[in-house]
Structure 1
Amino acid sequence: MKIAILGAGVIGVTSAYYLAKAGHQVTVLDRQAGPALETSFANAGEVSPGYSSPWAAPGIPLKALKWMFMKHAPLVVRPTADIATWRWMLAMLRNCTSARYVVNKGRMVRLAEYSRDCLMALRDETGIDYDQRMQGTLQLFRTQEQLDSIGKDIEVLRADGVPFEVLDASGCITHEPGLGHVREKIAGGLLLPHDETGDCFKFTNALAKLCEAMGVTFRFNVDIRRLRTEGQRVVAVETPEGDITADTFVAALGSYTPHLLNPLGLDLPVYPVKGYSITVPIVDESKAPVSTVMDETYKVAITRLGDRIRVGGMAEIAGFALDLPPARRATLEMSVEDLFGGAGDQKQATFWTGLRPMTPDGTPVIGATRYGNLYLNAGHGTLGWTMSCGSGRVLADLVSGARPEIETSDLAISRYAA
């Protein structure tokens, strides 16, 4: 089957790999000059199935009010009159119940765990290299209140068979020796030993090369204008270079996917939640993190990537703005310096922002639409890197008419119909 994938981020490229592996003729289109040059470019670097949690959680509305008065707030809301922004925020608030949190987290962990297994298999099959480490994620709690509130997360982890360890301050330091000089700031931690780290940009580009060797065609610098339909089928992608036809189309454009779908009458509740990162060269190995530390207070992930530290996080609701406010950089620098002071050279750090395509329930949208040959793979939020391989494999199975290895009925856009 001839398949056109729209988007060459980590989701589009993993989709291309698994579809090509299934025997399809695949073309990938993207407006950028190469793979992974937008949201996949400099994300936090975590492959963290166990940390797969929806932002919509019990207590978040109250926390959001408190964060408004914090200097280094993990959530920032810029005032806007945009109806889409308020509609998405209200939908997210509706998911901030205990019952919905358990459902949403459960399906996110299911997909993320499967994705980790797919990544491991892909790595074994191809030998792909991307500064990967397999030493887990440490969720670090600075207060006893934070440590005492992890009960619901632990219930979900147990239910899904995800290994974990609850650590005291000494246990956190044993796992991450660079924290030794800040023992007094640590109440405890939750260690997810099966989580991994890696450079998403390096991975996506390396996988794209493997895809090309399998016969996948990449067409970059192509502006995707719209999908042309006849009845309940898509017949072409309209571009300045002319129409591109295929038997099946896959929309994997991250935060921009709704723009493509709205003219077709498909309402995809994906919103661009802005995130930031700095990438810091390591100057003192003994003070640097070994793997990933999630600073729970500021929702900042501090990740070791080879000879660099990637510090990423925060959520800013600001539409499609791509500016780089110094205050956001200050939060990232504060978190890493407070925990791993002197490990990196902040003067040489690079500052970046990306738009995370988030659904109000946290779970991505993967699967068929009411158009018979149009599939979606979008809305992964902060977990696109974590869920990429599993999402690509599931998508390829669905397109190929094969039965996926995990339950997927609750991943499709149809779950919003009610």
Structure 2
Amino acid sequence: MKVLVLGSGVVGVTSAYYLARQGHEVTVVDRQPSPAMETSYGNAGQVSFGFSSPWAAPGIPQKAVKWMFQEHAPLKIQPRLDPVMGRFMMQMLGNCNPESYAVNKERMVRVAEYSRACINALRDDTGIRYEDRQRGLLQLFRNEQQVEAVAKDMKVLEQCNVRHRLLNAEEITAVEPALSRVPGKFVAGLHLPDDQTGDCFLFTNRLADYCREQLGVTFLFNTSIERITRVSGRIENVVTSAGALTADAYVMALGSYSPFLARDLDIRLPIYPVKGYSLTLPVIDDGGAPQSTVMDETFKVAISRFDNRIRVGGTAELASYNLSLAEKRRATISMVVRDVFPEGGDLEKAEFWTGLRPMTPDSTPIIGATKYDNLWLNTGHGTLGWTMSCGSGQLLADLIAGRDPQISADGLSVARYAA
């Protein structure tokens, strides 16, 4: 089968990898000059299977009101007359209840845990390296209220057989020794030993090279996607700046930009861009730097270790498709890394970056079929695109081939929004 994948971010490239492994003739098209040049470029560096939780949760509306008046809040909303933003926020609020949270959490963990097995197998099969570490993730709590709140998540982790352990203030330094240099800041930590870290940009590019050289995947870069042509319930072709491209099946993996093409096909994707920021700074003291990933629960900022760099990612900003770099957001993530690992990296030499996370109101990705029998979706992964990419890609490839997938696809397709 000839398959055309739209998008060369981490989700698009992993989709191409799993499709090509099944023997399909795969072409990937993207407007950028190379893979992972947008949202996959500078993410937080965490592959956090066990940390997969919906943003829409009980208590979030009240927290959001408080965050509006905090200088270093994890969520910022830029007021604007934007009906799309308004609709997204109302749908998200509709998921901020215990019942919806439980359903959405199960779906996310289902994909994420499957993705853990898939990325481990991919690494063994391809041999690619991407400054990766398999040393887990440590979620840090600054007060007892946060420790009490995480009890609900721990119950879901237990139900899904995700290894985890709640550590006291002394035990967290055994996992991250540099935390001993900032005593008294954290009262506890939730350790997820099977989570991983690495550079998503390196991962995506090296996997793309493998796809091209070993699996025969074709990549068409510097190619803008203009529109999709449909005829009698099927996609006929994709019109691009390089001409019309035809295939037997089409995969839309365009992240935050998926709704624009889908809208012309009368498919409403409730995906909204949630702007995130990161800093990448050189390590200057190995003993004062993280050894894996820590997540500061108070500020929702992740700090990850690469070989000789530290990646700090966080904040969520609703600002439509604005990609300007806001110095106030830089100040927040700079403050957190300075507070947690004050001696680890050189902030004066940090690279500042921003990207648009494709968020759904229930935080669950959209994977599966559409009303067009040859159009498939793999998008809407929010902050967990890399975490879920391999599981999503394998699941989608199986669905397209008509194979029984290894996990249930229930509740993952766009059909869940039909009501």
TM-score scaled by length of structure 2: 0.99
Question: In the alignment, which residue of structure 2 is the partner of 1:355?
Answer: 356
1:281 matched to which residue of 2?
282
Show the 5 A alignment for 1:189-200.
Answer: 189-200=189-200
Secondary structure of 2:356's partner? strand
Residue in 1 that maps onto 2:69:
69
Q: Match of 1:247? A: 248
- Is 1:154 the equivalent of 2:154? yes
1:291 and 2:283 correspond: no
Q: What secondary structure is seen at the aligned counterpart in 1 of 2:34?
A: coil
Q: Provide the rounded CA distance (Å) in 1 between the counterparts of 2:75 and 2:300.
A: 9
2-side partners of 1:165 and 1:182: how far apart? 22
**Counterpart secondary structure, 1:303:** strand
Higher mean alpha-carbon deviation, 198-207 vs 175-184, is at 175-184
Inter-partner Cα distance in structure 1 for 2:227 and 2:45:
32
Deviation at 1:231, TM superposition (A): 1.2
Q: How does 1:269-418 map to 2 (within 5 A)?
A: 269-418=270-419
Letter in 1 for 2:226: R
Give, in whole Å, the separation in 1 of the partners of 2:244 and 2:127.
37
Give distance in 2, aligned partners of 1:52 and 1:371: 30
Partner of 2:265: 264
TM-superposed CA distance for 1:148, in Å, is 1.2
**Distance in structure 2 (CA, Å) of the matches to 1:341 and 1:72:** 18
After TM superposition, give the deviation of residue 240 of structure 1 in Å: 2.2
State how many pairs are aligned.
418
Deviation for aligned residue 1:173:
1.0
Counterpart of 1:184 in 2: which secondary structure? coil
User: 3-state DSSP class of the match of 1:56?
Assistant: coil
Cα distance per residue 1:79-126 (max 9 Å; x no partner)? 010100000000000000011111101110110010011000011111
Deviation track 1:234-280 (CA, whole Å, cap 9, x = no partner) reads: 01001122111111100000000000100110001010000000001
- Give the residue type in structure 2 aligned to 1:31: R
Task: Tell me the distance in 2 between the aligned counterparts of 1:380 and 1:70.
Answer: 27
Normalising by structure 1, we get a TM-score of 0.99
The SS at the match of 2:264 is: helix
1:10 is matched with which residue?
10
Unaligned runs of 5+ residues in structure 1 are none
Counterparts of 1:32-181 in structure 2 under 5 Å? 32-181=32-181
CA drift at 1:151? 1.4
User: Structure 2 unaligned runs (5+)?
Assistant: none
Deviations 1:200-243 (A, max 9, x none): 00000000011002110000000101100001000100112211
Distance 1:311 1:132 in 2: 16
What secondary structure is seen at the aligned counterpart in 1 of 2:84? helix
CA distance in 2, matches of 1:99, 1:108: 15
Mapped partners of 1:132, 1:390: distance in 2: 18
| Paired residue secondary structure (2:404) | coil
Matches of 1:86 and 1:201, distance apart in 2: 32
Q: Whole-Å Cα distance in 2 between the matches of residues 190 and 409 of structure 1?
A: 29
The equivalent of 1:19 in structure 2 is 19
CA distance in 2, matches of 1:135, 1:58: 31
How far apart, in 1, do the equivalents of 2:241 and 2:339 lie?
Answer: 50
In structure 2, what is the Cα distance between the partners aligned to 1:73 and 1:61?
Answer: 14
Between the aligned partners of 2:42 and 2:71, the Cα distance in structure 1 is 24
Other structure's SS at 2:183 match: helix
Between the aligned partners of 1:374 and 1:295, the Cα distance in structure 2 is 40
Deviation at 1:181, TM superposition (A): 1.9
The sequence identity of aligned pairs, in percent, is 57
CA distance in 2, matches of 1:403, 1:260: 29
SS in 1 for 2:325: coil
Q: Which amino acid aligns with 1:288?
A: A
Please tell me the residue identity of whatever aligns with 1:155: K
Partner of 2:204: 204
Partner AA of 2:198 in structure 1: G
Q: Which moved more, 1:252-261 or 1:239-248?
A: 239-248
Give the Cα–Cα distance (whole angstroms) in 1 for the partners of residues 385 and 171 of structure 2. 30
